[in-house]
Amino acid sequence: MASNENNAQAPMFKKLALIGLGLIGSSISHAARRGGLVGEIVGSSATAATRDKAVELGLVSRCHENPADAVEGADLVILCAPVGAYKGIAEAIGPKLGPGAIVSDVGSVKAAVVRDVSPHIPDHAHFIAGHPIAGTEQSGPEAGFAELFDGRWCILTPDADCDRMALAKIESFWQKLGSRVEIMSAEHHDLVLAITSHVPHLIAFNVVNTAAHLERVTDSEVIKFSAGGFRDFTRIAASDPVMWRDVFLNNKEAVLEMLGRFSEDLVALQRAIRFGDGEALERTFAEARSVRRGIIQAGQDTAAPDFGRRKPS
Amino acid sequence: MASNENNAQAPMFKKLALIGLGLIGSSISHAARRGGLVGEIVGSSATAATRDKAVELGLVSRCHENPADAVEGADLVILCAPVGAYKGIAEAIGPKLGPGAIVSDVGSVKAAVVRDVSPHIPDHAHFIAGHPIAGTEQSGPEAGFAELFDGRWCILTPDADCDRMALAKIESFWQKLGSRVEIMSAEHHDLVLAITSHVPHLIAFNVVNTAAHLERVTDSEVIKFSAGGFRDFTRIAASDPVMWRDVFLNNKEAVLEMLGRFSEDLVALQRAIRFGDGEALERTFAEARSVRRGIIQAGQDTAAPDFGRRKPS
């Protein structure tokens, strides 16, 4: 965890450029200031309203439309835009990156990001792709908060021949933002995230839409009686549509593989229901329950009943 | 909401018998005492440890092994056991029900419950099936709390020829437990719950097990990186396996219909991913997001970021 002692020391980076200021970009700003990790923070956003809001909230001292303007003089650049925009951003900022500058990102897919960004990073700078596994269903510059990364994992997927000093520095930066850091290949990241994040989101989006298109059950009934389980799906289905579009377009193979397995398993359960095989159902459900225990023991969720929803606002 | 004024008045029921003391049974006990709604509460459970715990916690004054012993002299009986056990319970308690006694239940399916219970209720008593749409993933007598039903819906599915006074009384009872009450047919209930609760749970159980059976991704990776969406699925997949087995065995037709629609929709999304149709993906995701807004506006969930998980325990 970041401690206040950092404030008294020289910051790790003199100038941080955040390219994109949504939930993750704004949370990095809050957490970096909390830890005294950076001198100046500047930003860039394609959206005028976001630029105004980011300055108004004090997330950045200046916010540029063109990312190339934001990275000048920056020793740390973090791409926090939807991954579909990375290629254009990398092309724009490449020529402006100074010697020793570290470029990283927070995208939910990694192989496609390495493919799109690496070719545009000059030899005197360092690109180390990353992905903090943290989020809420909120988006935009007002959604960020300093605690978002506390106790969560951040995965870094450096190339085999990356600069070791740069890797150590970005690893330390994420630790001081509150995260634990794990290093793996971009390909393995994409496989792990396909099942722990991408397929769950796709399924959540899908069940919400299936419910919305029923003829014999009204939308208002779906909403009224959502506390039976459905509301948990709508929560993850409320995440940013553009960000998720880009995730699925850029992690196609792993997602299709995991979806295939999911559908196979679902057909087996469907069959057990059709033929009244109670034993198979109970066994399957009990198995799933034990995975939950592992997550609580690992500190990645809380066991509190109703998850802080006792007094709905 | 229940108010303290009730404490000063005569209780609505002299003796409440709770048949089953898991999450819902124990929460009814807490909420009924909070509202001063009942004189005495007695219970019944098939499990010795549950019987001991229920008395130790003061949920009931006595807890019987045989439900027939619990209902003697009770003017309100609520079945809170897994619905697969209802038929045997109804057979046992039927002969012991006194004149005017009201029997209700909390089961997650209703047509099968009416089929199993109604034939065993004598003419001088009244059966009105019910289902509070509230819960957590916890189970057992220690899981209950008085606020569980506050602001949530309880669906009652009375027969067309039910006793109007008994219906009014059980409706008022649920309102004083903190719920809002909706009345519909058992068949419509089962259709609505198939999509808002049963299919979401089945999908959650399924994705958790698909993840647990991967060869190239370890269980520990699944658990470590669960904050990307997966943990929300494990939460609902942690619900009681026996209760859910009985739900699927007793709401087969509606669940299979909704599963068929879900799978159809999922295949369409899968195809959009395979062919890189970003427009279709974004449109689908944006639609799902708007359903979420309706749920928050209806007070059935909170929009707080990270859902009370900011400080993981």
Mark yes or no for CB contact B209/A287 under 8 Å. Answer: yes
For the cut 80, the answer to whether the pLDDT of residue A38 exceeds it is yes
What's the mean pLDDT in B89-95? Answer: 98
Nearest to A136 among B199, B223, B305 (CB): B305
- Residue A2: is its pLDDT beyond 60? no
Please indicate if any CB of chain B lies within 8 Å of the CB of A298. yes
Mean pLDDT computed over A239-246: 92
Chain B residues with CB under 8 Å of A109 CB are: none
Where residue A227 sits, what CATH number does that domain have? Answer: 1.10.3660.10
Is A269 found in the same domain as A132? no
Residues of B in contact with A145 (CB under 8 A): 305, 310
**Model pLDDT, residue B306:** 39
- CA dihedral sign, ordered A38, A40, A41, A44: negative
Query: Which of B161, B183, B205 lies at the terminal end of a domain, its last residue?
Result: B183
A48 occurs within a structural domain = yes
The whole-number average pLDDT for the span A226-246 is 87
Per-residue pLDDT at B5 exceeds 90: no
What per-residue confidence (pLDDT) applies to B6?
46
Q: Are B181 and B156 in contact (CB under 8 A)?
A: yes
The reported pLDDT for the residue numbered A162 is 94
What are the pLDDT digits (tens) for B137-163? 788 999 999 999 999 999 999 999 999
Distance from CA of B96 to the nearest CA of A (A): 31
**Average confidence (pLDDT) over B197-214:** 93
Its domain, for residue B149, covers 5-183
Reply yes or no on whether the pLDDT at B310 is more than 60.
no
In this structure, the answer to whether residues B158 and B15 fall within a common structural domain is yes
A115-154 as b/e, with b when 16 or more CB fall inside 10 Å? Answer: ebbeebbeeebbbbbbbbbbbbbbbbbbbbbbbbbbbbbb
From the number of C-beta atoms within 10 Å of its C-beta (0-12, 13-18, 19+), residue B271 rates as exposed
Same domain assignment for residues B66 and B210: no
Mean pLDDT of A210-237: 86
Mutation for testing the A interface, residue in B201, B226, B311 having most A CBs under 10 Å: B226
Q: What is the pLDDT of residue B8?
A: 56
CA distance A142 to chain B (A): 11
Residue type, A22: G
Mean pLDDT value of segment B250-260: 97
| A196, B218 Cβ separation under 8 angstroms | no
In a shared domain, residues A200 and A289: yes
Confidence band (pLDDT; 50, 70, 90) for B308?
Answer: very low
Q: Are A180 and A193 found together in one domain?
A: no
Q: Please list the residues that pair with A38 across neighbouring strands.
A: A13
Packing angle, helices B278-297 and A241-250, rounded to 10:
140
pLDDT digits (tens, 9 = 90+) for B212-249: 899 888 888 988 888 888 888 888 888 889 999 999 99
Q: Which of A198, A210, A255 to mutate to test the interface with B (most CBs of B within 10 A)?
A: A210
Mean pLDDT of all residues belonging to chain B: 91
Q: Is B309 on the interface with A (CB under 8 A)?
A: yes
Last residue of a domain, one of B149, B168, B183: B183
Q: How many structural domains is chain B composed of?
A: 2
User: With bands split at pLDDT 50, 70 and 90, how would you rate the model's confidence at B312?
Assistant: very low
Q: Are residues A29 and A152 in the same domain?
A: yes
Task: Give A160 or A313, the one with higher predicted confidence.
Answer: A160
Q: Is A185 on the interface with B (CB under 8 A)?
A: no
Domain membership flag for residue A85: yes
Q: Between A and B, how many residue pairs show a Cβ–Cβ distance under 8 A?
A: 389
Q: What are A16's strand-pairing partners? A: A41, A76
A73 and A195 share one domain: no
pLDDT confidence bin for A215, thresholds 50/70/90: confident
Specify if B304 maps to a domain. Answer: no
Is a pLDDT exceeding 70 seen at residue A306?
A: no
ipTM for the complex? 0.85
Q: Looking at residues A234-250, what average pLDDT do you find?
A: 91
Residue A114 and residue A53 share a domain:
yes
Q: Assess whether B157 and B170 both reside in one domain.
A: yes
- Cβ of B153 under 8 Å from any chain A Cβ? yes
Q: Say yes or no: B134 and B198 in one domain.
A: no
Q: Please indicate, yes or no, whether residues B149 and B260 belong to a single structural domain of this protein.
A: no
Q: Where are the alpha helices (DSSP H) in chain B?
A: 5-8, 23-34, 48-56, 67-71, 86-93, 111-117, 164-176, 186-193, 199-212, 219-224, 230-236, 241-250, 252-274, 278-297
**B312 domain-assigned:** no
A149 in a domain, yes or no? yes
Same domain, B157 and B72: yes
